[in-house]
Amino acid sequence: MTRNVAIVGGGQANWGERDATWKDLAQEGGKATFDAVPGVDPDDIEGLFVGAVQPERFANQTHVAPMVAELLGIEVDEMIARTELACASGQAALRYAWLAIAAGQLDVAMVLGVEKMNLGREHMPEVQSSMANVLDREFDGANGLAAPPFFAWYAQRHMHEFGTTREQLSLVAAKNKTNASRTDFAQFQSTVDPDEVTDSPEIAPPLHLYDCSGITDGAAGAILMSEAKAREVTDTAAWITGSGQSTMAGNSINNLPSFSGWPQARKASQNAYDQAGIDDPLAEIDVAEVHDCFSISEIIEYEELGFAERGEGGQFIEDGRSHLDGDVAVNPRGGLLGCGHPLGATGVSQALEITQQFQGDVTNDRQVDDATTGLIHNLSGSGSVHSVMVLDRDPQ
C-alpha cells in the first residue's frame, strides 16, 4: 500500500550570472528552503536527493550529495543520492523522494537542485561545449548540434507543417519574460513585448536571442513529507498525485520519432493523468510549469500535454489561452525563458511555483485564481526523455 506524499514548501537562491561557487549556491538554496518551512530543520531530514547535471564540468566536483549534506548540517541515516537526467535532473530528484516516501522508506526528505554554469566570459566556449554533452557527444555534439540549432530545427519543421508563425514564438517569450519580471529570484527582471523579441539578435533561424533561455547559476530546494508529517507542518501543501516518464530514443537525433512534436511527452503526461484521475487536462489543469527552454518548446508542449490539438499550439498562445487569466496559466513564474535555466534546479523550482500558487504565496500580479491542480514538465537531452508530474491541493 502506498502513502500520500506532499511538498510542504521550499526556497531558492537568486538566479542569474552569480559571483558564487557551486557550494555557495547549495548553501543559499538550502538555507532558503529551511527558512521557508518553519518547524523543519536539518535534524528532521531522513533522505536527501540532489539534482545536479554537470558539477564535474562546471565545478570540478563529483559525489556532490554527501557534500551538500555536510554543507547543510544534515546527517542522513536513511537515503542519499544525486540524480542526473540532464535538464530533468531536478524533477528526477523529486520523483525519487516521492517514491521513497510513498513506499514507507522515509517520512521526510529534502530535494535540492543546484547548477553553477557561468564560469566567466573567457570560459564560455567550455560552457557551450559542456552543454553538448547531453546529446550523443561522439556524433551529434561533436558536429555542432548544440541546443539553439537543435530547437531551431523543430521550429522550422513546426512552421512548415502547421503554419506556426514568427509572431507566435514572440508571444510565448514576451509572456514568460513579463511574468518573470514579477518573480523576485528570476534572472531576467524586465517586461518584454513581442516586437522586442522579434527584433532581438538572430541566433539560429528562426530563433532570436529572446527565444532562448539563459545560462544560469541557481539553486532551489523543497521539503517532501508523508501525509501524517505534512499535516503537522501546514494546512496547504502540493500533493503529488501522478507522475510519468517516457523515452522513445537514446541521445542520438537519428532515433527521434518526430522533428515537430514529442510523442514521448504525450505518453508521459497520459501516464501521469491516469494516475491522477485526470480525463480532460485543458479543463482540469489550472496552472502548468512547462519546459520552455526555447519558445517553440512551449508551443509544442501545449499540444503534447493535451491543452491544444496537434498543430494548434501557435494559435493557443495567440488567443491568450496560456496567459494568467487563460484556460490554463502556463509558466506564471516566467518559465526558463524568464527565470533562467540552472539545469539541476529547474524542475524543483517548477514544483515550488505550483506549491506556492496553492498556498497563495506568490505576488498578487501572478497569482492564478483558485488554482487547485497543477503540472510540471521537463524535457531532457535531445528531447528524447520527457517527465511530467501532477500536483493537487488535496490528496486523492
Residue 367 near residue 357, CB atoms below 8 Å: yes
Residue with cell 548540434: 145
Exposure string for 138-153, b = 16+ CB within 10 A, e = fewer: eebbeeebbbbebbbb
Residue 377 near residue 358, CB atoms below 8 Å: no
CA angle 88, 131, 303 (to 5 degrees): 45
Residue with cell 535538464: 87
Residue 349 near residue 210, CB atoms below 8 Å: no
The residues annotated with a catalytic role in the active site are 87, 341
Residue 202 near residue 354, CB atoms below 8 Å: no
C-alpha cell at 184: 523576485
C-alpha cell at 201: 539578435
Question: How far is residue 204's CA from residue 113's CA, in Å, rounded to a whole number?
Answer: 29
Q: In whole angstroms, what separates CA 394 from the centre of its chain?
A: 22
